[in-house]
Structure 1
Amino acid sequence: MRRKLWEDLQPTPGRLNSSLRILLATIIALILMLTWRMPFIYIGMYFIFLVGRDSPTISFRTGLISVLTVTAAIAVELGVVIVSDNDPMIRVLSVAIVTFIAGVLVASTNFPTLGSTWGLLFCTVIGNWEKHAPADSLVKGSLWLIATFAVAVGSAVLVEYLFGDRDPAKKLETARAIRYQALEKMFTVYAQGGTSEERSAAAIPVSRLAIAGSAGMLELYNKIAERGLDAGTLPPGTRLRVTMQAQLMDVAAAFGLQNTGEDSPDLRRRCAIIAEQCRELIPVSIPKFESRLRFMPEDCVTLLDRVEAALHALLTMPTDASQMGNKELVAMPVRKAPFFIPGAAGRNDTIAFGLKISLCATLCYVIYNAVDWPGISTAVITVIVTGLSSSGAMKQRLFFRLVGSMVGGLFLGLGAISLLFPHMDSITSLVVLVGFVAFISAWTAGGPRFNYIGLQMAFSFYLVAFEDFSAPTELAPARDRLIGILVALLVMWFVFDQIWPVRTVTVMRQGLAGMLKTVASFLRLIEPRPDPKDLLQQADALRDQIGKTVVSLRSMNDAVDYEFGVDRERHVRTSEMILRTSLTAGTLFWNQFAVLYSVEDKDFLTEPDLIEMRRRLAEYIDGMADGVIKRTAPAAVPANAFLTPAMLNDPRYGEYSRNTIARLEELHSYALMLSREV
């Protein structure tokens, strides 16, 4: 654990720049808020961390939407109070209803920040009506929250416009090339029979790049998409390729660090092929030696097998030279994504997530009012901040919340109040202290594995340290706020892990099944229709969901390490298999999707035999998705059940048909192995 945390804190490309931007935005917002004596400083300061930094455009858009969301939350609050004449029971019911809706929005939309922001701010302002204060002052306090939020978001957006990246496409090309170069060098050393020292030296750069993860590259991808920039020579499906490359780096690093003494002719031969393939992939060219790459899904057991499988998934993505740099295929802007994820709003797991969040928030609200301890009202806010993020890997997040709360609230927050604040007599010293905490929180939040700890450090520190416009003079309020955080974590642990537990692999199975259903929907979608624009719009929505699901599954795969129990190793193995299956499903999807944007291949959409093939594939993949949930083996179906041998050998459609059937056979092999796991 300590080794992984230390690795996670190491410098990675763009991390210092991002941390400094957060630091500058924090200092600007702090000075303005203190000068104008704005309430709710801790909320405004925390949301600086949540403003999108993929591009200045995204920062402005997310900032504007956040301010509108704040306004909507306050409008609902005032409406509840006016209609109910400030009835206490109606306030409790409103907390339950609003947090349920917020949880559903987080789990079922492509804009989860809206739900979490709305729920957080509503619970913050509705709780103020429990105080014995004049209604006029409470209404003014609620309206001041809009101003506080606007200042914080405006500061973050201003900094992004001044110092954001200007050429993300070139940086992304460089980042992916660096990774392939490191892989090519390491496997060349193995192929040449290098010494243990040489192998270790070659594996270290691969390990460092693997630790950096895919977050930085995905951020560059989002910048290209949102700003409509020139994609250079980036290939189709860049987001999925980034995730695939990150998986390749992970397994290659594990192989390089664990096999420094192994050597054999077969090992050298296989490493030489891998090195050659990586060398070809550096300039984004069409691979020439795919058939030489050994790959058998049924025999994918060793680390080198897994390296070959990950590389195989990359090599089987569409690589038509005419589509290189096509902005429509490289990156899809967020504005093209639908608000609701197709089919997600009514799913049982979505409703369950909303109910669990609602139960936690309502319990905390009732507890602090029942014991008449308003100081721990931060429990409700903590539930919203920490719970409304996603619906998987709860044990990991609970652990990260606890660590972040202890570091930010106990050591930094209470430590500053008891040791530093009594000796601080100017805004300069406060800015230095807050800047220090903001920087280390932002640096921690920039890591690929423990980033959630950084967010919780900032949230807990601000919650404890900013009680009013002046430095705290008593420890009791800060102590109460910290206890509120701990109460919320205890309630969430009880609800999410004891009353209503969901294992991470269960969520991953649901995600994979949903992804397979999406692939099947797309196969049914690509048929001739009078409005091609409508076809592309629906296809883009499915494409966006495929990419996000793979990223989410990879994140949850990392979180399985935090599962406990005697079957932990089986869960780790199952999660790895689910991730591999999703990558193969992604390649099948993209080999079909690329046809939509190929002017030369429009007849592939109208050929009757291919239309029938896609219909049969969709039906089969739907059954496979059901089998993933029920843990049943998919039926073995020969290739001629989908397409005639004549079509497989057709000079025009043969290659496309054979590639489609080959990807399906690989998907079937993975699904079959997955059915044997927990």
Structure 2
Amino acid sequence: MPASTEPAGPLAAAWGALRANTPGRLAYALRLTLVCCGAGLVALWFEIPDPALVVYLGLFLNRPERTSGLMLAVVMQLFVTVVIALLVPVTALLIDTPFWRTMAMGGLSFGLMFLGSASKLRPFAPTMALITAYVLDLLGSLPGGELATRGLLYAWLFVGIPAGVSVLADLLLAPSPRRLFGGLLLARALTSAADLLDTPGDATRARFEALRREAATGTPGLLKLAGIEKALTPGSAVAYRSATAATMRILAAVDLLDRHPDADLRTALADALAPTLRAMAGILASGGYPVAIDPPCWPKVPPDLAPVLAALSEAIAGFTTTPPPLHAKPPAAKSGFFVAGAFTNPAHVEFALKVTIGAMLCYLLFALWDWPGIHTAMITCYIVGLGTAAETIEKLSLRIIGCLVGAGLGLATIVYVLPAITSITGILLVIAAGMFLASWAAAGDARISYAGFQLGFAFLLCALQGHGPGFDLSVARDRVLGVLLGTGMSYLVFTRLWPVSVTGTIDPAIARLVALLRQAANAGGDAREALAMQAMAAADALRRWIDLAAFEPARLRPSRGWIAARRDLLARIERLESPLLLAQPGTDAALEAVARDADALAASPPPGSNTAVSSPPPQPPAAA
């Protein structure tokens, strides 16, 4: 039966996400660890300055599958090459004049963070802003032009080393998008459907719903990436697209079967259907796709379930058979380099200003205090910058916990482990141990990935102080204090200066979701399935915004009743997705009732809504 719509507490959810050994997570964490160790080996062998930053960037330049990881590493390297080429002609001026160096740092930071919010450079620009600010700060401590030129070369290597190691690891070890598409997303979704039929309950229902939405939101992107790397023949591409649509119909049918009140009938249907679903999942997990699957022999069912079983039989029998298109699809509009509203939505400029102001305040503080050991405060501002005040508050505890755990591990390493290290091999083993813990957390979902990145950052800053074992506890202390200062500065800036609220986006998003469902109800065949998958993705984002509303600053935060009413309405909308996809009778009337209730809720704005933005907030930087 359906699981409760009330989310678990944040600590319980984070602990569950940390412990979850989802398929592919261990392999991804080990690959991240290997990349960090490889980058550390090169940086230590050639005595590159600040090897901790080189190792840390290895976490940014990888993705669960190889194609996007390769694209990220290559584009990132090209990007840093262009930026450094622009800095070379003005290096002499920036070395000798602190004023122009500071102005250049602020201007480049603003420009890159604007691109990170309003353009397709979102995955790269925040990291490039970090590197650029760090290099300009480094130029201020170099006495001559030759050393400055070498400093720019080192800045290129800061990205070049982890990017090169990441490319090699992706080519040799990372799974292909096709493998993740069939062997992970679809196979896991079908297995979870079989589990729900065999052992119904809140836990299996929650897992089923999570994997169903993961399949709906993840398969289009993986299919696109598989097409980019030419991993699919035309025939297999058609088969996998058909398999995606058929899987969503199967999952919708299983959802409706599990909601039926007759427990004996559900058991009989499970005995008939679950073995077939497991067999199909096994074929997908092995790298193939099912063909010519015979539908199960169904038990006698009441009339209300007959259409569901008919749709289920059709989806299983034609799992990889392309349904005939009902109409010619118009060509998709090509998106430009900048996102819609890049120069009219002030949120992008405000986001860039907030990150830049936080970073420059930290820079001025450690410069005025003549305390270069806390330069990590400026770097941290680029790492932890998020789009909304609610996200900033929600992730603050995770960042602090990750920082303190990483610093504790780093200090323990300095005291108890590094004195026994006598070779580069020992240092690499230390890096591997600490970065595996960080990579395991970073490979999880958003509830803990932030803590993983912060843990790795703090650990490296403490344990990797130079080209050999470092024992200076004051260096570790200063670097950790810098991380905490940068985290606190980001919190103050993002919650006090142009705070972006998610509350104002919720009711308009509900209205858009209802309109999308109406459009799906009036469509048919493949168009209905495509619109239904878009609705699932929109509902997933909407659920995230509703959960974030509880973390709004006090002057923007709505009441608990306001949040609960939207959460309940979203649950009703999600219950309509399966009958809508299978064109069940009575869906239109239920959808109209939901639309009326949504209009009624939207008529009463929440407290503080006058400061909320009316459009979706900027997305956070990649891997923040």
Among candidates 424, 427, 445, match of residue 427 of structure 1:
424
Distance across 2 between alignment mates of 1:215 and 1:111: 25
The 3-state SS of whatever aligns with 1:26 is helix
Query: Deviations along 1:139-161, whole A, 9 cap, x unmatched?
Result: 21221221232221121221222
Shift, 1:72, TM fit: 2.8
1:370-394 Cα distance to aligned partner (Å, 9 max, x none): 2221111111110001115777622
Answering whether residue 192 of structure 2 is matched by residue 179 of structure 1, we say: yes
CA contact (8 A) 1:106 1:116 kept: yes
Q: Deviations over 1:456-514 (max 9, x none)?
A: 11122223333321221311122111111111111111111234433433354576678
- Whether contact under 8 Å (1:43, 1:149) holds in the other structure is no
Residues 1:404 and 2:402 aligned together: yes
1:348-427 → structure 2 map (5 Å cutoff): 348-387=346-385, 393-408=391-406, 410-427=407-424
Report the counterpart of residue 467 of structure 1 in structure 2. Answer: 465
User: 170, 175, 183: which one pairs with 1:165?
Assistant: 175
Q: Deviations over 1:552-609 (max 9, x none)?
A: 4444444445457685523642663685699799999999xxxxxxxxxxxxxxxxxx
Post-superposition CA distance 1:423-454 (Å, at most 9, x none): 21122221111111111111111222212111
SS state at 2:124 partner: helix
Q: 1:84 to 1:431 in 2, by over 3 A?
A: closer
Do residues 7 (structure 1) and 20 (structure 2) align? no
2:223 corresponds to which residue? 224
Q: Taking structure 1 as reference, are residues 211 and 503 closer, same or farther at Cα in structure 2, changes over 3 Å only?
A: same
Going from structure 1 to structure 2, the CA distance change for 1:418 and 1:148 (only over 3 Å counts) comes to: same
Residue number among 52, 56, 59 corresponding to 2:66 in the alignment: 56
Structure 2 Cα separation of the partners of residues 661 and 156 of structure 1: 50
| Separation in 2, partners of 1:419, 1:364 | 32
Q: Conserved in 1, the CA contact under 8 Å of 2:243 and 2:319?
A: no
| Alignment CA distance shift 1:562-1:142 (3 Å) | same
SS of the residue 1:133 aligns to = coil
- The 2-side partners of 1:549 and 1:147 are apart by 40
Structure 2 distance, partners of 1:365, 1:589, is: 55
What displacement does 1:51 show? 2.1
Q: Partners in 2 of 1:510 and 1:360 — Cα distance?
A: 31
Change (3 A) 1:83 1:145: closer
Structure 2 partner of 1:17: 27
Which digits, 9 at most, give the CA deviation of each residue in 1:82-136, with x for residues without a partner? 5667432233233333333333323323441122122111111111133253232
* Aligned position for 2:337: 339
Give the corresponding residue for 1:569.
560
Contact 2:411 2:473 in 1 (8 A): yes
The verdict on how the C-alpha distance between 1:132 and 1:514 changes in structure 2, with shifts beyond 3 A counting, is farther
Q: Give deviations 1:350-384, integer Å, cap 9, x for gaps.
A: 22222221221121122111222111111111000
Tell me the distance in 1 between the aligned counterparts of 2:189 and 2:381. 38
1:135 pairs with 2:145: yes
Give the aligned residue type for 1:439. Answer: F
Query: Cα distance, 1:169 vs. partner?
Result: 3.3
AA in 2 matched with 1:407: V
Query: SS at the partner of 1:113?
Result: coil
The size of the alignment, in residue pairs, is 544
CA distance in 2, matches of 1:146, 1:564: 40
Structure 2: runs of 5+ lacking an equivalent: 1-9, 281-289, 327-331, 607-624
Q: Is the 8 A contact 1:25 1:155 kept in 2?
A: yes
Letter in 1 for 2:416: L
SS in 2 for 1:450: helix
- Check conservation: 2:84, 2:152, Cα contact below 8 A: yes
Three-state SS of the structure 1 residue aligned to 2:22 is coil
CA contact (8 A) 1:70 1:117 kept: no
- Relative to structure 1, is the Cα distance of residues 418 and 514 closer, same or farther in structure 2, using a 3 angstrom cutoff? farther
Q: Specify whether residues 4 and 274 from structure 1 end up closer, same or farther in structure 2 by C-alpha distance, changes over 3 A only.
A: farther
TM-score of the two chains, using structure 2 as the length reference = 0.71
Structure 2 equivalent of residue 155 of structure 1: 165
Task: After superposition, give the CA deviation of every residue in 1:239-281 in whole Å (9 maximum; x if it has no partner).
Answer: 9x98x989x99xx99x9xxxxxxxxx96859989998999799
Q: Say if 1:557 and 1:576, in contact at 8 Å, map to a contact too.
A: yes
**Alpha-carbon offset, residue 214 of structure 1:** 6.1
C-alpha separation in 1, matches of 2:225 and 2:333: 8
The separation in 1 between residues aligned to 2:208 and 2:577, in whole angstroms, is: 23
Q: Is the 8 A contact 2:29 2:436 kept in 1?
A: yes
AA in 1 matched with 2:567: E
Q: State the AA in 1 paired with 2:439.
A: A
Deviation, 1:322, is 9.8
Q: CA deviation at 1:204?
A: 4.1
**For residues 565 and 339 of structure 2, what CA distance do their matches in structure 1 show?**
26
Code of the residue aligned with 2:31 in structure 1: it is: R
Structure 1 residues 238 and 413: alpha-carbon distance in aligned structure 2, compared to 1, 3 A threshold: farther
Q: CA deviation at 1:13?
A: 1.0
Against the structure 1 CA distance between its residues 395 and 137, is the aligned structure 2 distance closer, same or farther, given a 3 Å change threshold?
same
Q: Equivalent residue of 2:59, what SS? A: coil
Cα 1:668–1:214 change in 2 (3 A) is: closer
Report how far residue 415 of structure 1 moved.
Answer: 2.2
- Relative distance call for 1:85 and 1:154 in structure 2 (3 A) is closer
CA distance, structure 1, for counterparts of residue 61 and residue 597 of structure 2: 39
Report SS of the residue matched to 1:501. coil
Aligned to 1:53, the other structure's residue is in SS state coil
Q: How do 1:138-537 and structure 2 match up within 5 A?
A: 138-166=148-176, 167-171=179-183, 172-187=185-200, 202-207=201-206, 222-228=221-227, 229=232, 230-231=236-237, 292=304, 338-387=336-385, 393-408=391-406, 410-448=407-445, 449-508=447-506
For the 8 Å contact 2:495–2:553, the answer to whether it is kept is no
C-alpha contact 2:458 2:480 (8 A) present in aligned 1: yes
Residues 473, 554 of structure 1: alpha-carbon distance in 2 compared, 3 angstrom cutoff: same
Separation in 2, partners of 1:514, 1:93:
43
Letter paired with 1:416:
T
- In 1: Cα distance, 2:212 partner to 2:401 partner: 22
Structure 2: how far apart are the matches of 1:357 and 1:578? 35
Q: 1:275 to 1:152 in 2, by over 3 A?
A: same
Per-residue deviation, residues 172-206 of structure 1 (Å, max 9, x unmatched): 2211101212222344xxxxxxxxxxxxxx54444
Report the more deviating stretch, 508-517 or 64-73. 508-517
Structure 1 segments unaligned to the other structure (5+ residues): 188-201, 256-264, 294-310, 527-535, 592-654
Q: Identity of counterpart residues, as a percentage?
A: 22
Q: Retained in 1: the 8 A contact 2:93–2:100?
A: no
Q: Aligned partners of 2:103, 2:86: CA distance in 1, in Å?
A: 13
* Matched residue type, 1:136: E
Could you tell me which residue of structure 1 aligns to residue 49 of structure 2? 39
Q: 2:376 is aligned with what amino acid?
A: T
Q: Which of 672, 675, 678 lines up with 2:599 in the alignment?
A: 672
User: 1: CA distance between counterparts of 2:344 and 2:276?
Assistant: 42
Structure 1 position 74, deviation (Å): 2.4
Q: C-alpha distance in 1, partners of 2:512/2:144?
A: 51
Give, in whole Å, the separation in 2 of the partners of 1:273 and 1:561: 43
CA distance in 1, matches of 2:41, 2:533: 40
What is the CA–CA distance in structure 1 between the aligned matches of 2:390 and 2:90, rounded to whole Å?
32
